[in-house]
Structure 1
Amino acid sequence: MKTRASRRLRAPSIELLESRRLLALSAAYLGQDGLDYVGTDRGPDGVGRAVPYPNDYQDVHIRLDGLDPNKTVAKVHVAKEGGGWDWTWWNTGKGQSAYFTRDSVNSTTGHVYIEPRDPYSANHLFQEIAV
């Protein structure tokens, strides 16, 4: 009986799979950590409004991870669960009620600072953070 030498039809190789970026943004609550970028001022109608300058009250700090470093952030919106807090930052400088900045070391990370509108406690939950 003749035996055939086994012959490979194709040599094994290693190929790189497609590169992927998770399309998920994550937010980490850092609390009040001593920083103050946003304040509150009264408008002509007597209603308090957030303004883009400090007022000596610590802001609530939220870190955002997973930002695309090749895209400009145009808007950040934060809302507290159950209502009562609703802040938006625009990169146009108009209507700012929050402050956003990218991390100076890691461009996929950003920081949002919002002014507490009522006595603040660490167990507030956020129902929406949209970028």
Structure 2
Amino acid sequence: MFDTKIALIVRDDLAVWQRLNVTAFLASGIAYAAPEIKGEAYIDANGRRYGSMAGQPMLVFAADLAGLQSAHRKGVERELTLIPYVEAMFSTGHDEANRQAFLAENADNLNLVGLAIRGPKKAVDKAIKGLKMHD
């Protein structure tokens, strides 16, 4: 079992393509923030080597804006690893523009469309309490 937990939370009113896009970016953020979760490379029956994936599950949840903001506040209070994605980032075209869009946000009232959280299992459970798994 794992001592840590990873939760990806995606806003429930997004188009499907946006949900998938946000989920992919959040997962990549966790991978960079916690390189120790990297699993081993995959090798097929013909001996071909493939890339690695995270060796720890990432659970995907859905929430409205208030639910995302609540999880964010609780994550900040518990000093968990947080990877945010705000709505303004949909209109940017590169990483630096994403950081500028995020910097322009009201830090106490982020317009979140996604949030990844990683940390001790119990602390993450408290941060996501009441959220439902994405369906």
Q: Which bracket does the TM-score occupy, shorter chain normalised?
A: under 0.3
Structure showing the higher strand proportion among its residues? 1
What TM-score, normalized to structure 1?
0.28
Structure showing the higher helix proportion among its residues? 2
Highest RCO, 1 vs 2 (Cα 8 Å, sep ≥ 6):
2
What TM-score, normalized to structure 2?
0.27
